[in-house]
Chain A
Amino acid sequence: MKSKITTRVMAHVANYEKDRISLFTRRLAILFSFIILGVIITFGVVIWQLYEFQAFDMLTLFQQDSEIIARFWQDTLSVFWEFVPQEWLLAGTLCLLVIGAMLFFTRRQRAVNKKKLQQLTQYSH
Chain B
Amino acid sequence: MVQNPTDATLVLAVRAGDIAAYEIFVRRYETKLLRFAMRYVRSHHIAEEIVQDALFSFYLTIDRVDVSKKVSSYLYAITKNKAVSVLRSLRNTVSLSHVDLPSDMDLYDLTEKNERADILHKALHNLPVLYARVLRLYYFDELSYKEISKKLRMPINTIRTHLLRAKKVLRKGVVV
A-to-B contact residues, CB < 8 Å: 2-6, 8-10, 12-17, 19, 111-116, 119-120, 122-123
CB-CB under 8 A from A14, the residues of chain B are: 19
**Which secondary structure dominates where chain B touches chain A?**
helix
Q: Is A111 within 8 A of B19, CB to CB?
A: no
Q: Is A3 within 8 A of B30, CB to CB?
A: yes
How many residues on B have C-beta within 8 angstroms of the other chain's C-beta atoms?
20
In angstroms, how far is the closest chain A Cβ from the Cβ of B158? Answer: 7
A-B contact count (CB 8 A): 59
Q: Which residue of A lies closest to B128 (CB)?
A: A8
Q: Is A5 within 8 A of B19, CB to CB?
A: no
CB-CB under 8 A from A15, the residues of chain B are: 158
**Among the listed B18, B27, B48, B59, which residue makes an inter-chain contact with A115, where contact means beta carbons less than 8 Å apart?**
B18
Told that A3-B30, A6-B26, A114-B17 touch, could you supply 18 new A-B pairs with CB distance under 8 A? A2-B23, A5-B26, A5-B30, A5-B55, A6-B27, A6-B30, A8-B52, A9-B26, A12-B52, A13-B22, A13-B56, A15-B158, A16-B56, A19-B155, A112-B17, A115-B18, A119-B20, A123-B19
